[in-house]
């Protein structure tokens, strides 16, 4: 069984606008490259090719997401606005979410790539896979874009996969350094989708991602937030997986595991303050694969979110894809030992305290 891979150059043509990091230029801010730019993603795809791994992956074509599928998640007025602006010069979809001409079509392609991947995984065409798409999706809310995200890619694909294939339960594991607020909101009252987000405490969006936010109505207990302190490394992430994420998956018994995957928890990322290195991303992927093998015939679909280090995102991406496909290309990560040597990589008492508290969130599953 193979690993699917979605990449479309047109996704790289999405233009997130002129900014210094994520602050729009103007006033004291000299125009510069926006943090959410194509090269961080294109370089992942390039390393996957140069390493030789690409030829052992199964290409899955991204096609435009159907508007019916998009409207299962997003409000019609929001989509009408995106479509209209996209026909002209573009505009903003919400907080910090600029797009240019044709930005809506490119966002449809990004969401559509995730739909195609999930469909292929659920049909058993591939065992697992990764959609390396942009713009990202996990911050997008039903009625507005947010945090570089226009459409809720993973949520759109999950709703479509559930409708088409009758999946009873889907689990989302969000390891992006930022809180997966959009995915959380969309499924907040829905017990058929378990949402788990491990993120840097109060990084973005400010004021979301608390442990107290556990879902609502029939969905109470089916949203789990693990807000790790800044400076969390290998020890904290492995403990969060071993003590919270994996027990939650085993209790929930999903038919499909979706990972909203950002590499901005890496030790070199400019937008977050965590310390992961590629070996940890490999370890986390292997742990999820073991759980998926035990629970849902190995089905894992990963959709790409953040990750803003041009130098380092490629090595994190390669490690995850090597793990998913049970392959080692022999490509060395020249940063791995350096980041692994950062002080505080082992589990710290204040991190352990948070993870112990988060274990209490499993009681409703």
Closest CB to Zn ion among residues 252, 315: 315
**Sequence-ordered list of residues with C-beta below 8 angstroms from that of 290, at least 6 positions apart, any chain:** none
Which of the residues 87 through 126 are near Zn ion (CB under 5 A)?
Answer: none
CB of 215 to Zn ion, least distance (A): 22
CB of 135 to Zn ion, least distance (A): 12
Residue span 305-324 as binding mask against Zn ion, x where in contact by CB under 5 A, dash where not: -x------------------
136 contacts Zn ion (rule: CB under 5 A): no
State the Cα–Cα distance between residues 177 and 101, nearest whole angstrom: 29
Kindly report the backbone phi and psi dihedral angles of residue 141, in degrees, each rounded to the nearest multiple of 5, phi listed first: -100, 165
Closest CB to Zn ion among residues 144, 264: 264
CB of 178 to Zn ion, least distance (A): 4
State the DSSP code for 185: H
Q: Name the segment binding Zn ion (CB under 5 A); options: 116-124, 233-241, 261-269, 356-364.
A: 261-269
269 contacts Zn ion (rule: CB under 5 A): no
3-state helix, strand, coil split of the chain in percent (to 5) is: 40, 15, 40
DSSP readout, 46-79? Answer: HHHHHTTGGGGSEE----PPPHHHHHTTS-HHHH
Tokens of 159: 């709703």
Count of Cβ atoms closer than 10 Å to residue 346 Cβ: 12
174 contacts Zn ion (rule: CB under 5 A): no
CB of 213 to Zn ion, least distance (A): 18
Structural contact between residues 109 and 62, judged by C-beta atoms closer than 8 angstroms? yes
CB of 291 to Zn ion, least distance (A): 23
Which residues partner with 260 through β-bridges? Answer: 174, 303
Q: Which of 94, 262, 298, 317 binds Zn ion (CB under 5 A)?
A: 262
How many chain residues are in contact with Zn ion, going by CB under 5 A?
5
CB of 88 to Zn ion, least distance (A): 29
Closest CB to Zn ion among residues 177, 347: 177
Closest CB to Zn ion among residues 167, 275: 275
Rounded alpha-carbon distances, angstroms, from residue 24 to 27, 34, 70, 239: 9, 8, 28, 37
Q: Name the segment binding Zn ion (CB under 5 A); options: 12-20, 174-182, 344-352, 356-364.
A: 174-182
CB of 264 to Zn ion, least distance (A): 4
Closest CB to Zn ion among residues 121, 272: 272
Residue 38 burial (CB < 10 Å; 0-12/13-18/19+)?
A: middle
Catalytic residue among 139, 178, 199, 304: 139
Count of Cβ atoms closer than 10 Å to residue 191 Cβ: 18
Q: Name the segment binding Zn ion (CB under 5 A); options: 52-60, 177-185, 228-236, 311-319.
A: 177-185
184 contacts Zn ion (rule: CB under 5 A): no
State the Cα–Cα distance between residues 59 and 129, nearest whole angstrom: 10
Residue with tokens 């088409």: 164
255 contacts Zn ion (rule: CB under 5 A): no
4 contacts Zn ion (rule: CB under 5 A): no
Residue 139 is a catalytic residue: yes
180 contacts Zn ion (rule: CB under 5 A): no
254 contacts Zn ion (rule: CB under 5 A): no
Q: Which of 119, 176, 255, 269 binds Zn ion (CB under 5 A)?
A: 176
Closest CB to Zn ion among residues 226, 291: 226
Closest CB to Zn ion among residues 144, 190: 144
Reported as type and span, the H/E element at residue 104 is helix 103-123
- Per DSSP (E only), the strands in the chain are 3-6, 19-20, 23-24, 58-59, 91-92, 94-95, 98-99, 128-131, 145-146, 170-174, 193-200, 223-228, 256-261, 300-304
Residue ranges that bind Zn ion, judged by CB under 5 A: 176, 178, 262, 264, 306
Residues classed as catalytic: 139
């Amino acid at each position: 069984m193979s690993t699917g891979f979605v990449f479309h150059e047109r996704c790289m043509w999405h233009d997130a606008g002129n900014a210094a990091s994520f602050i729009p230029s103007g006033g004291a801010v000299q125009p510069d490259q926006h943090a959410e730019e194509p090269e961080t993603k294109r370089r992942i795809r390039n390393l996957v090719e140069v390493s030789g791994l690409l030829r052992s992956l199964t290409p899955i074509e991204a096609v435009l997401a159907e508007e019916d599928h998009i409207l299962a998640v997003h409000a019609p007025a929001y989509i009408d606005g995106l479509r209209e602006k996209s026909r002209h010069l573009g505009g903003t979809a919400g907080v910090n979410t600029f797009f240019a001409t044709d930005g809506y079509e490119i966002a449809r392609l990004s969401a559509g790539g995730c739909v195609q991947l999930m469909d292929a995984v659920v049909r058993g065409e591939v065992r697992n896979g990764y959609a390396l798409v942009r713009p990202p999706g996990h911050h997008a809310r039903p009625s507005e874009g947010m945090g570089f995200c226009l459409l809720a890619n993973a949520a759109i694909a999950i709703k479509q996969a559930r409708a088409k294939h009758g999946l009873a339960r889907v689990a989302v594991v969000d390891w992006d350094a930022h809180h997966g607020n959009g995915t959380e909101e969309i499924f907040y009252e829905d017990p058929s989708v378990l949402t788990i987000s491990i993120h840097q405490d109060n990084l973005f969006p400010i004021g979301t991602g608390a442990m107290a936010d556990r879902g609502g109505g029939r969905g109470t207990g089916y949203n789990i937030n693990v807000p790790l302190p800044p400076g969390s490394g290998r020890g904290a992430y492995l403990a969060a997986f071993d003590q919270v994420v994996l027990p939650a998956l085993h209790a929930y018994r999903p038919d499909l595991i979706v990972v909203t995957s950002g590499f901005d928890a890496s030790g070199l990322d400019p937008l977050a303050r965590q310390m992961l290195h590629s070996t940890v991303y490999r370890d986390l992927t292997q742990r999820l694969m073991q759980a998926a093998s035990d629970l849902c015939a190995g089905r894992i679909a990963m959709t790409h979110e953040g990750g803003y280090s041009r130098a380092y995102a490629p090595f994190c991406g390669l490690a995850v894809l090597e793990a998913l496909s049970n392959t080692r290309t022999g490509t060395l990560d020249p940063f791995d030992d350096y980041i692994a040597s950062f002080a505080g990589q082992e589990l710290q008492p204040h991190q352990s305290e948070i993870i112990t508290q988060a274990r209490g969130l499993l009681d409703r599953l």
